[in-house]
Amino acid sequence: MTHAEFLRTLPGSPEAGLNHVAQSATDIRPLSDANLGHHGGQLNVPTYDRSALTPAVVHFSVGGFHRAHQLLYFDELAERGISHGWGVVGVGLHSRNMKDALAPQDHLYTVVERSPDGERARVVGVMVDYHFAPDDPATVLDLLTDERVRMVSLTITGSGYRLCPQTGDFDSGDDDIAWDLREPGRPRTVFGFLVEALDRRRRAGLPPFTVVSCDNMHRNGDAARSAVVGFARLRDEVLARWIGDRVAFPSSMVDRITPHTTPEEREAVAQRYGVDDRWPVITEPFSQWFIEDTFCNGRPPLDEVGVRFVPDVARYELMKTRLLNASHCALGYLGSLAGHRTIDHVMADGVFADYVAALMDVEVTPLLPPPDGIDLGEYKLALLKRFANPAIADQLPRLCRRGSTKMPHHLLPSLQQALAEDRPHTLLTLAVAAWFCYLRGTDFQGEPVVVDDPRADLLQHLVREGGSDPRPLLRVTSIFGELGSNPAFVAELEQSIAQLDRDGVRATLAAHLGTPERLRR
């Protein structure tokens, strides 16, 4: 059975097994503490005493993923009665939208897990407060200095760490960083907040908090350490040494597909469950979290609810970033060029499903050191099933965002390693060629695609400058490293771009996979 045939055996209807009845307008009530008793008849609600939660965790940049992933684990600790000592406070830095959504509903929100066989929903109550830092930075600093806070977690995206790609050093050439150095009591950046709070704790004789990065990047704990210590060094070398010696920065690997919530999804949640949630979260059943067992101020008992504490997260991180995230990049760009808009539609097309299976099996897996306790064969089959989940229907534009950050972190390292070890890399090269074509701003049907990237202007300019020649784009060494100086690879990439332009995506993939002619059309 091919991978495409395996996927076609999966149940296809997101409504399968549902018994919920559409609610009338009078049955739909706002989400709040006062209404939890009413909502409990339609979905799971907190049964624990929210007022007993201790604010021990502060999370910077609360988005859909954090609310579908880390917060759910802490919520489960409270729900099972394992611990009320690990309540969470959210902090936003750039947009007040999350505060505006959560504050009126007592920081409650709904998580809906969808599979092809049905769905289940629960209200999460473990977030005890939320602050938009620009409104009142002093309050956020007071929070971080509170001795009850023992852990700070981050989902600020890879580019948010301000690390030089070549050296790994902290990049201080930023107006907000300069502001934080001048005005430490009114910081603007996450590093300004963390370093000022750590300095206050040091001076007060309080233990530091552990900093846990949950961003998709190589050795995210090391990245967090480099950024925090690097910023501290700009202020005070003694403080920087204290942070380097006393603060723990465990790396972690997080995994859960969480699409953006649309207005239509919000309305569907209201109709199905009778809950008027300003910003519910839609996600898949699968969830995974590995954290290095290095904490400096108490460790939350997350291992009681499915988190795995490990000595070294590196192999788990490589597994996830090079199989899941790199496949997302490849399918996002190739699928978009072919006119698809969601990943489940891409996977329903047999040639794409076989392509990504071959990409993982032939070109990526041989480069991976096997992680303890994980069967990579089963993991990859699970990925194919997750990608094909029609109940999630993850939007390709989400997968294509921030390619200048995602490609060098997720896909290009496998390509660089394969070239260095003289291993197969044709399918990886096709993914790079697809990104090149995507940066032109249209798919192969002539329809526009949105290039959502902080470096979009530069990248699109270089693509236009080169025409079909990738060399100008490859000169961006902060993304491509030394790939542009490899003549054989440059020629292969140029050929792949030309083949995509000439034959289209499906025929190009089919030709590389040896797929029958009937599947090339």
Q: Verify that 90 and 125 share a domain, yes or no.
A: yes
pLDDT at 470: 98
Last residue of a domain, one of 290, 310, 330: 310
Of 157-171, 313-327, 337-351, 489-503, which range is least confident? 157-171
DSSP secondary structure code for residue 208 in this structure: P
Which residue, 310, 332, 363, sits at the end of a domain? 310
Does any domain span residue 11?
no
Please, what is the angle between helix 426-438 and helix 326-337, to 10°?
50
Q: How far apart are CA 341 and CA 364, in angstroms?
A: 25
Same domain, 297 and 335: no
- Domain count of the chain? 2
pLDDT tens digits, one per residue of 60-84: 999 999 999 999 999 999 999 999 9
Residues 323, 200 within the same domain: no
Element (H, E) at 275: strand 275-276
Q: What is the pLDDT of residue 167?
A: 78
Q: Which tens digit of pLDDT belongs to each residue from 333-387? A: 999 999 999 999 999 999 999 999 999 999 999 999 999 999 999 999 999 999 9
Mean of the pLDDT values across residues 41-47?
A: 93
Structural domain contains residue 217: yes
Q: 269 and 403 share a domain?
A: no
The enclosing domain of 58 has a CATH number of 3.40.50.720
What average pLDDT does the segment 200-220 reach? 96
- Taking only the tens place, the pLDDT of each residue in 388-443 is 999 999 999 999 999 999 999 999 999 999 999 999 999 999 999 999 999 999 99
- The DSSP-derived string for 46-62 is --S-GGG--EEEEEES-
User: What are the backbone angles phi and psi of residue 250, rounded to the nearest 5°?
Assistant: -65, 140
Percent of the chain with pLDDT over 70: 93
pLDDT band, very low/low/confident/very high, at 57 (cuts 50, 70, 90): very high
Instruction: Tell whether 262 and 395 lie within a shared domain.
Output: no
H or E element, residue 245: helix 237-246
Is 257 part of a structural domain of the chain? yes
Write out pLDDT tens, residues 147-158: 999 999 999 988
**How does DSSP classify residue 170?**
B
Question: Domain for residue 5, yes or no?
Answer: no
pLDDT of residue 521: 40
Please tell me the pTM assigned to this model: 0.90
Phi, psi (deg, nearest 5) at residue 418: -65, -40
Domain containing 435: what range?
315-520
CATH number of the structural domain spanning residue 373: 1.10.1040.10
Are 345 and 408 within one domain? Answer: yes
- Is the pLDDT reported for residue 2 higher than 90? no
Give how far Cα 262 sits from Cα of 64, 117, 155, 268, Å. Answer: 12, 21, 21, 10
Whether residue 398 sits in one domain with residue 289 = no
Mean pLDDT of all residues in 455-468: 96
Tell me the C-alpha distance between 135 and 431, whole Å: 43
Both 376 and 502 in a single domain?
A: yes
Claim to verify: residue 168 and residue 117 sit in the same structural domain: yes
Q: What is the pLDDT of residue 172?
A: 86
Eight-state DSSP code of residue 325:
I
Q: Of 248, 280, 310, which residue constitutes the final position of a domain?
A: 310
- 517 or 229, higher pLDDT: 229
Same domain, 260 and 336: no
Rounded CA-CA distance 32/275 in Å is: 9
At residue 517, the pLDDT reads: 46
